[in-house]
Amino acid sequence: MSGIATTFFELFADNLAERAGKVFVIDPDRSYTYGEVAAEADRIALWLTDTGVRPGDRVIIQLRKHMREVAAMLAVARVGGTIVNINAALTGEQLRFIAEDAGARALILESAATLMTGRDSAVLLADSSEWQTLSTGTGQAPIATLDTQLAAIIYTSGSTGSPKGVMLSHRNILAGARSVARYLGLRDDDRLLSVLPYSFDYGLNQLTTTMLLGAAVIHQPIAMASEVVRAMRTHGATGLAAVPPLFIQLVRLLEAAPARLPALRRVTNSGGAIPDTILRAMPQVFPGADIVLMYGLTEAFRSTYLCPSKFSAKMGSIGRAIPGAEVYLVKPGGGLACPGEEGELVHRGPLVSLGYWKRPHATLEKIRPCPELASLIGDEPVVYSGDVVRMDADGDLWFVGRNDALIKTSGYRVSPDEVEELVHRSALVTDVVAFGVADEMLGQCIHIAVTLLPGATRAALMDRCRTTMPAYMVPRAIHVWPESMPRTPSGKLARPDVVQACETAPLHTLAADAVSEQRRKSRGA
C-alpha cells in the first residue's frame, strides 16, 4: 500500500520496504518483482542523469508494453522529469511534432525505426546494446518533488488542429488512483490485465492503482481477443479494462468459444459507448464479474462511473461522479440541469488537470470558473467537457453527444481541423471538410468531403492519408465534391451545407469503402 505517497514515484517506491519480492509486472515471457523493476528503473535513471536530464525536463517514452516501459516511466519520475508517454500507433510525423512541442530533452524508443533526425536530444533504444549494458544505478535519493508539480503530459487530439499535451500533476494522478481503486474495490491480491496503452489516461490508471495497492499488472501487448483471453486465463486476471472495439471482439469470441474466467472480479469500459447487443451479452460471457461502465476525459482524468449493481437496470448509462469528484450539467441557455434535463458536463475537484502544455488560451477555454457554480464554489476553475449529457429521474447520467465539431471515434477525440490540415498538406485538394458520421461500432467514423485539384484522384488522396495519419484518423469515406465548395458571405467554407449534402445526397458520395459496407451488413445480420 502506498497510502501516504504524494508523488508518482512514491506510489511505486513505497512498496519496496515490505514487498520488494512481490510480483509487480507480469510480461508474457516472465514476471518481475517490485524490487527487480526498481533496479531496472535505477539503471535508466542513471542514464537520464548522465545524459543531462534535470528536474522538470520532458522525456518521451515510446515503448511496447513491457516491464521496460514501466521502468522507464519510473526512472523519469525518479529524476524529477516529466513523463511524455507516446502511443505506439502514432506516426513518425506525429512523434516529431510532439518531441518538438514538448521540448523533449531525451527520448526512450523501441527502435531506430521511429527515430527522427535533426534533433540534438539524447536517445536510448530498447533494442540496443547500450540498454543491455546500462550501469547499475547508484541508489541516490529520488528528487524531492511537490505534489502540485507537473508529473506527466498526455498528448491528445485537440481542436487547434494539432495534438495538445494535457498536463497532469502528481496530485492529479494520485487522486485518480485513489478514487478508481476505491470504487472498483481493488485489493493487493488483484492482478489487472493491461492491454490499453499507458499513454492513455485510462490505461495509465491501471498501473497507478496497481502500485497504490501493491498489486500486480499483467501485460498483454497484443490487442487481439484470443490473446487477451489466453493471458487472462494463464495469469488469473482479476480485472480487465478495455474499450468498445475490444469488447465487441471479446464478446463475439466468448460467445463462440466460452472460456471460464473464475478469477475475474470486474471488467471496465471507457472511451465510448458499447453497442447495445454487446452490452446485453456481457453478463453471460463474464459471469460473476462486475461490469463497470466509466466515463472520463483526459483534462479531468476520470469523471463518472455506473455502479455495477445498476448495470442491468441502467445499461449504457455513465452513472454518477466518481468518489472525490463532482460533476454538474450546465444547460445551453445557462443554469444547472435538473433530473430529466440535459447540459454540458463540467467536472470539479482534485482531478482537474493543470491544462494544456504551452497553450494558455486553450487552457482558459477548457478550464475556467463556472458562473452557474459561483454561489457554491466561487471562481474555482472546472473542466468544461464539451460533452452533452442527460440526467435521468434518478440522477444517473447518459451520454448524448458533443457540443462542438470534435469527432469521437473508437475512444479517440479527433478534431476536424486536424484531419483537414493533414489532407491539405497532401497538396491534392483545394477544399476539404471533415466530419463525423454515426457508427454503431465506433461511435462515429470520419468522412471527408474534398474538391480535388486537377489530376488528383481519390485513390492518391487515400494513399496520402494512410501514410500521414494514424489508423484511427484515416477517413472511412472520401466524398468527392464536383466543384468548388459553397462558402459563407465572409468567404469561409459553408461547412454545414457540405456535411448535410454528403449525408443526404448519394450523388456526391463515392461509395464508402467495402469495410463500412460490410460492417453495416453484419450489423443487420
Partner 1 sequence: MALSEALLMQNVRQLSGLDGDATTDTPLFSTGTLDSLAMLTLIAFIEERSGMEIRADEVTLENFDTVNRILRFAQGRTA
Note the residues at the interface with partner 1 (CB under 8 A).
Answer: 64-65, 88-89, 91, 195, 221-227, 242-243, 245-246, 248-249, 252-257, 410, 441-442, 462, 466-467, 469-472, 474, 514-515, 517-519, 522
Which CA distances in Å does 524 have to 126, 128, 247, 277, 518?
46, 50, 19, 12, 10
Chain centre distance of CA 480: 32
Q: Where are the beta strands (DSSP E) in 2-88?
A: 23-26, 31-33, 58-62, 82-85
Burial classification of residue 17, based on how many CB atoms lie within 10 Å of its CB (0-12 exposed, 13-18 middle, 19 or more buried): exposed
C-alpha cell at 403: 457540443
Give 53 or 204: the residue with its C-beta nearer to partner 1. Answer: 204
Asked if 100 and 37 count as a contact pair (C-beta separation under 8 A), the reply is: no
User: How far apart (Å, rounded) are the C-alpha atoms in residues 518 and 37?
Assistant: 46
Give 224 or 405: the residue with its C-beta nearer to partner 1. Answer: 224
Give 63 or 184: the residue with its C-beta nearer to partner 1. Answer: 63
Give 315 or 462: the residue with its C-beta nearer to partner 1. Answer: 462
Give 137 or 244: the residue with its C-beta nearer to partner 1. Answer: 244
Give 155 or 328: the residue with its C-beta nearer to partner 1. Answer: 155
CB of 33 to partner 1, least distance (A): 25
First to last CA, the chain: 49
The 3-class SS string of 203-245 reads: HHHHHHHHHHHCCEEEECCCCCHHHHHHHHHHHCCCEEEECHH
C-alpha cell at 212: 497504490
CA quadruple 389, 367, 421, 434: dihedral, nearest 10: 10
CB of 362 to partner 1, least distance (A): 26
Give 100 or 127: the residue with its C-beta nearer to partner 1. Answer: 127
Give 43 or 520: the residue with its C-beta nearer to partner 1. Answer: 520
- Residue whose entry in the numeric block shows the C-alpha cell 492513455: 200
Give 383 or 441: the residue with its C-beta nearer to partner 1. Answer: 441
Q: Give phi and psi for 90, each to the nearest 5.
A: -70, 145
CB of 150 to partner 1, least distance (A): 27
Give 476 or 495: the residue with its C-beta nearer to partner 1. Answer: 476
User: How far apart (Å, rounded) are the C-alpha atoms in residues 361 and 366?
Assistant: 9
Give 17 or 256: the residue with its C-beta nearer to partner 1. Answer: 256
The residues that bridge with 448 in the sheet, in sequence order, are 434, 478
CB of 209 to partner 1, least distance (A): 22
CB of 410 to partner 1, least distance (A): 4
CB of 88 to partner 1, least distance (A): 5
CB of 167 to partner 1, least distance (A): 25
Q: From the CB of residue 448, how many other CB atoms can be counted at a distance below 10 Å?
A: 24
Strand 266-269, strand 290-295: pairing = parallel
Q: From the CB of residue 36, how many other CB atoms can be counted at a distance below 10 Å?
A: 18
C-alpha cell at 365: 477555454
C-alpha cell at 422: 493533414
CB of 461 to partner 1, least distance (A): 12
Residue 363 half-sphere exposure toward CB, CA atoms < 13 A: 14
CB of 86 to partner 1, least distance (A): 12
CB of 414 to partner 1, least distance (A): 13
CB of 470 to partner 1, least distance (A): 6
CA quadruple 288, 289, 293, 294: dihedral, nearest 10: 150
Give 134 or 253: the residue with its C-beta nearer to partner 1. Answer: 253
User: How far apart (Å, rounded) are the C-alpha atoms in residues 338 and 173?
Assistant: 31
CB of 256 to partner 1, least distance (A): 4
